[in-house]
Structures are given as C-alpha cells and as structure tokens.
Structure 1
Amino acid sequence: MSDPQRLQLLRSINEAADADALRSSRDHVNDRMASKRSELPIDQFYTELNEAYDAIIIRAISLAEAHMARVGMGSPPVPYAYLLFGSGGRGEQTLSSDQDSGLVYENEPNAEKAEANRNYFAQLSKQVVIVLERLGFPRCEGNVLSDNPSWSMCLSSWNKQLDDWFEQPSWEAVRYLLIVADGRSVHGTSSLLDRMKDHFFANMAKHPNIVGRMLENTMRHKVLVGIFGQLLKERYGEDTGSIDMKYGAYIPMVNAIRLLAIQQGIRSTSTLERMKALHAANVLSEEDAQSYGQAFQLFLQLRLMTTEKLERGMYANNGKLAVRSLTREMIEQLKKGLRIGKRLQRRIIKETSVRLK
C-alpha cells in the first residue's frame, strides 16, 4: 500500500474521535472512490473500497464500546465477533450498500452471567447500528442486523438456531442459512465464527437434501437475458428501459457460485475467491473459471454505473442501470456476460439435480 492519500484516509478513520468525524471520513471515502471508478481495475477498486468500509465499521464498533463504558455498562464481558453478511461479508460492498450484520459471543454456563452478557451485547449491537446509520449505511430491509436478537447471540444459541433451520428448512430458514454462508468476522474473535461455520458444514453433511431447498432459493432471481439473447429491461415506471444489475445479473451469479462453494465445503466468502477455490477443487475448469470471473467482474463494474444518491443522509441506489447510458460495445459485453450467467444457472440446476438423485 503505497498511496499516501489512501494511508492518510485510513489513519483518519482509525483516529476519528466521534461519529461526526467518522461520517466526514466516510463521505471522503465515497467521494474519493467515486472519482477513481474509471481509473482503477475493478478488483482493486472493490478491494480499496471494502478495506475502507471495514475500517469504518471497526471504528464504529470501537466508538460503540466506548459509549457502553461511559454509560456504566463496562467492557465486553466475554470474547465476541462482529459479523458482516451480504455484500459486506463477501467484500463486495458498493458505494451505497446497506447494513447486513450479526454478532456471536462466547458461551457462559452461569445463567445470571449469561443474561447479563445477553443484555450487554444487545445494547452494544443497538449502538453499533445507530452509529452506522449516522454514517449513511441504511438498515437492512430484511432486518438481518446485529440489533435483531435472532442475529446476535452466544455461540451455543447460534448453533441451536442453525440446527433448527436445517431440520425445518422453510423458505425463510434456507434463505437465512445462505446468508450465514456469506458471514465474515470484521472485528473481535474470528474463531467464534469459525466454530459457527464448523457447525454449519457439519449440518450440511447430516442433511444432504438441504441442497435441493437451497437450489430453489438460489434460482429465485433469474439472469435478465431472453432466449434470443435480448436484454430483459424494466417495462414500467421511472426505470423504464433500464436493466436491474443487482437482481438480474450480480445476485444470480453470486447465488450460483455460493451454492457450488457450499457443496464443496469452501469457506471463502468472496465470489471471485470462491471461483478460484472451485477451480482448485476441479469443480470448475480453467476455461469456465475464467469466463465466469470475467462476466462477474463486468457485473461489478456496471453496478458502479447505477445512480448513487443521498436520501435523508443515507447512501442509496436501486441497482437499475439505464441501457441508453451504455455504448454499443458495452451492451454487447453485457449481453455476453448475461449469457454466461444464464449458462451457469443451467449448470447449477443440472448438477444439483444429479447430486440429489
């Protein structure tokens, strides 16, 4: 890391004295990265952006811990890990990603102390979410947040909840399991998440038929390309003529690669890292890994061309890309990438169906 501005920005984040100073740093991050979109290779852009966002989240957690001490709640009573899910867990956040988070802390056999720990981490989680909202990170619309008791608990309770989701795999339970697969520890004792993932993959081995339910969820979002290779655009409303880059290109590929990775016991959460691991495991050929990777990087790049805006202090984006803003060459590249994504979805259906027979 030789960029002095990048170093100085990370230093300002780490030294932010309060939420206002940290908000200023976050705004600076977004302005700086927005100005560098066209000059950085796409993988480097996402690396730098997510490195800065990780630093911001870690500093927000430190400020929340300091707040807890000031109000008489003390320091964390047991080791814990703050978790990121969604694009944060995958290291694929854009300039307007929301919060997808959780928390896991060490078990406590004493009932009274266990209740005190639960109360401490409930209050800490609430404070972290509040600080991140002040920094312009919206709450997850699906309430996958560390201030939701279902996403913040001791390790044994997490493991019991995983057991329940595997044993009673409703649509929502399976969706939550897929979310957990993207989990990454951003702060604290990362071995707690490792132990959670141990339990997750042990359950995968005990419940092989869960893959069929995961496939149903994985195929919920289809790649937006027609049978004749045409783009399937928005037909109504203010986004008429646009293509949904998030749910019509990016998410279908994320979901497909994640399902392949889960079946192989791969714990990497980055989509590109999962592709590399799948190639190393001889699941993807070199040709497939390369073509999927190129298509995915194109989707990452085009996601950055969707309109970023501020709404009541929150960074926001609906993920829609106006096709008229693309050159003819870019449209052809997008069509090619979508056809590759479609091919990947067909492969997932075929291979998972064979595995379940």
Structure 2
Amino acid sequence: MFKTYEEIRVWREEMIESVSDDHLQLNTFHDQLIHHTFHLAKEKVEREQGEPPAPFAFFLMGSAGRYEQSLWSDQDHGILFDGDEKHQDYYLSLGEEIRDGMAIVGYERCEGNVMASNPLWCQPVDVFTRQISEWLREAEWQSLRHFLIFFDSRVLVGESELLLKVKETSFAVIDEEPGLLARLMDNVNYVKKGVGVFGQLLPDYSGEKKGHFNLKQTVYFPYINALRILSLFQHVTNSSTLSRFEALRSLYPSLSEYENGFRQFLQQRLELKKDAEDYQQVHVIKVEQLSKEEKQQLKKQVKSAQKLYQMAKNIIKEGRT
C-alpha cells in the first residue's frame, strides 16, 4: 500500500483530523500508522539482511501500549525474539529502522531511549525475562521504573505469547517478594497537586509553562498508576487502563464510577487539545483559555483520579501487610 515513510506521514496528516474526536478511532488509526511503518522497516531490513532469523514480537509501551495516545505521541517500543543472542544485531537493525521510520511519520523519538534500537529493549525472550526478574529483585528506583514502563506493553506484530511469558514471570517474582508492590507504588508516588484549598485549578507559576495546567501529571498519571498497581496485585496482563478497569471490576465494584470518570477524561483531553501542534502541547492547557464548565470538569477529574490513587494505595497496603 505504502512505498515510503513520507507517504504514511501524508496519510496521517490527511486523515487524523477525521478521527481526532473519538478516542478508540484515534488509537486504531495510530495502530494502523505504526503497523504500516513497521512493515516498511521490516521489508527494508529483509532486503539487506534476509528474513527474520527467529520468531519475534514487536511490542508497544507507554501511551501506545495502553492504547491511550492523543493526537501526538512519542515512541515507546521494543522487540523480543525467541532465539540465540547472536540474532540481536539483526533485530537491533530492525529497531533502528522502525525508530527512524516512525520519526518521519510523526512520532518523536523517546527522550529516555525506550525504543527497539536500544539493546535494553531488544533481546532474546529468555534474557529479557531474567532482566525483568533482576529489575524487580534489585528494587532500585531506576530498575523499577524500567519495569513499570515495560508492564504497560502489548504486542502489535508477532508472537504475543513471548510477551505474556515475561509478564507471568514478573507476577511470580512479585509474589515471592513481600513489600515489592509497595516499593512499586512508591516509585510513582508523586502526584502533582491540581486543585488549591479554595477550589481553584493550580497551574504552573513559573518557567516556560507558566499559567498552564498539567493534564498528564494531575489527572492522567493517578488513573493509570492506580490501575497498573492493582493489575500487578491481581495478575492482570492487560495493558490498557480501560481493559484493566474491566478486568478488575468484579473484584472492586467501586471502580465503576472511576472508570466512567476516566472515559470522560480521555474524551475531554481530546476536545481540549484538538488544536495541539506537537507532542509537547498535548499534556498542558492554559487555564485562562478554559470555560467555567471546563474548569469544573477538570476539578472533578482531579479529585476523582487522586481519590482512586489513594484507594489503590490502601488496597496494596492492606493486602501486603
């Protein structure tokens, strides 16, 4: 269908506005864009180095892994392969081509280098499984951060069971290590205060984002961090926050009200940021540009998200003591 990354980028520019007001349609479109980009990258590497030497899985992490991308997104992806370490160079070449192709299509490179071009995120499945276990047993801030990034993952192309094997191993390690869930919770414990004592929204008061309200840190992160930790606690392998709500609803019936709030937030985020011109603008909004009704909605979202986060903390505390 597409012969160049530039053609995919043009398709993105032509079509994205038509799906920009519907969360599910937008993320389906992102998947299509990345899928086409992946196959162009794979075809190029195959021409140069031959067919893939082992079964593999190309997986997405971050907002893409959670099926929660907005208009703009950066790259978070990796490759697992079921074969010898000598094949790593092949898949790193594929990861580099995917990285460069996605950048042309319109996805910024990940600042933290969480991409399949990085050997840390492109490994044989057995090696990566050991690495995940080591990250969890080390329980250092950075290693746990890497694990949390990984856990929000799903396979876009290839063998889904390779990723599932790693996640199931992580559950076994967590079950063996008392207090590890609490450490994981501590890793994401910072929650940016969004509403002041007088009920006002709290924007940044200095720097280049002065006057801007951070949607990501005040609303989005508390939601996703709460559902991620509960999923780890209950061995739920789903990666999207909505699918985690669905999987956990029978265990925690009170999640239903928060699920509705999260759906509303995803929609409100699209509406507020429909004119964002790049990835940097997606997560912040000028408070002065908000209507009275929009401010009220955001205040409600802040309180709901942070209440849910506290609820998840309490569940983990009670379940692990």
TM over 0.5: yes
Alignment of 1:158-177 (within 5 A): 158-177=128-147
- The equivalent residue for 2:7 is 21
The answer (yes or no) to whether the contact 1:245–1:299 under 8 Å persists in 2 is no
- The equivalent residue for 1:221 is 191
1:220 and 1:154 map into 2 onto residues whose CA distance is 34
TM-score normalised according to structure 1 size: 0.85
Instruction: Give structure 2 stretches of 5+ with no counterpart.
Output: none
- The equivalent residue for 2:316 is 352
What is the identity, as a one-letter code, of the residue corresponding to 2:265?
Answer: F
- The equivalent residue for 1:68 is 45
Any idea what SS the aligned residue of 1:103 has? strand
> How many residues matched?
319
Q: Does 1:326 align with 2:290?
A: yes
The answer (yes or no) to whether the contact 1:295–1:338 under 8 Å persists in 2 is no
1:245 and 1:316 map into 2 onto residues whose CA distance is 12
1:53 and 1:348 map into 2 onto residues whose CA distance is 30
Q: Does 1:291 align with 2:261?
A: no
| Cα offsets for 1:140-194 (capped at 9, x unmatched) | 1111111110011001110110111011011011111111111100001111111
1:158 and 1:137 map into 2 onto residues whose CA distance is 25
Percent same amino acid among aligned pairs? 31
Alignment of 1:262-273 (within 5 A): 262-273=232-243
Deviates more, 1:238-247 or 1:53-62: 238-247
The answer (yes or no) to whether the contact 1:83–1:186 under 8 Å persists in 2 is yes
What is the identity, as a one-letter code, of the residue corresponding to 2:36?
Answer: R
2:30 and 2:164 map into 1 onto residues whose CA distance is 22
1:308 and 1:289 map into 2 onto residues whose CA distance is 31
TM-score normalised according to structure 2 size: 0.94
- The equivalent residue for 1:194 is 164
Of 79, 88, 91, the residue aligned with 1:118 is: 88
- The equivalent residue for 1:51 is 28
Question: Structure 1 residues 179, 196: CA separation in 2 closer, same or farther (over 3 Å shift)?
Answer: same
The answer (yes or no) to whether the contact 1:69–1:75 under 8 Å persists in 2 is yes
The answer (yes or no) to whether the contact 1:223–1:341 under 8 Å persists in 2 is no
1:243 and 1:301 map into 2 onto residues whose CA distance is 17
2:29 and 2:124 map into 1 onto residues whose CA distance is 28
Any idea what SS the aligned residue of 2:123 has? strand
What is the identity, as a one-letter code, of the residue corresponding to 2:305?
Answer: G
Any idea what SS the aligned residue of 1:321 has? strand
- The equivalent residue for 1:6 is none
Any idea what SS the aligned residue of 2:58 has? strand
- The equivalent residue for 1:40 is none
- The equivalent residue for 2:105 is 135
State the Cα distance separating 1:208 from its structure 2 match. Answer: 3.2
State the Cα distance separating 1:318 from its structure 2 match. Answer: 5.0
2:163 and 2:15 map into 1 onto residues whose CA distance is 28
Question: Structure 1 residues 342, 146: CA separation in 2 closer, same or farther (over 3 Å shift)?
Answer: same
2:67 and 2:167 map into 1 onto residues whose CA distance is 18
- The equivalent residue for 1:99 is 75
Any idea what SS the aligned residue of 2:2 has? coil
What is the identity, as a one-letter code, of the residue corresponding to 1:352?
Answer: I
State the Cα distance separating 1:135 from its structure 2 match. Answer: 0.5
Any idea what SS the aligned residue of 2:249 has? helix
State the Cα distance separating 1:337 from its structure 2 match. Answer: 1.8
2:249 and 2:312 map into 1 onto residues whose CA distance is 15
The answer (yes or no) to whether the contact 2:249–2:256 under 8 Å persists in 1 is no
- The equivalent residue for 2:62 is 86
Deviates more, 1:148-157 or 1:204-213: 204-213
The answer (yes or no) to whether the contact 1:126–1:147 under 8 Å persists in 2 is yes
2:82 and 2:193 map into 1 onto residues whose CA distance is 41
1:200 and 1:223 map into 2 onto residues whose CA distance is 32
| Cα offsets for 1:173-218 (capped at 9, x unmatched) | 1111111111100001111111111212121222232101111112
- The equivalent residue for 1:5 is none
The answer (yes or no) to whether the contact 1:218–1:256 under 8 Å persists in 2 is no
What is the identity, as a one-letter code, of the residue corresponding to 1:321?
Answer: I
After superposition, the CA RMSD in angstroms is 1.7
Any idea what SS the aligned residue of 1:309 has? coil
What is the identity, as a one-letter code, of the residue corresponding to 1:273?
Answer: S
1:212 and 1:228 map into 2 onto residues whose CA distance is 32
Alignment of 1:145-156 (within 5 A): 145-156=115-126
The answer (yes or no) to whether the contact 2:27–2:68 under 8 Å persists in 1 is yes
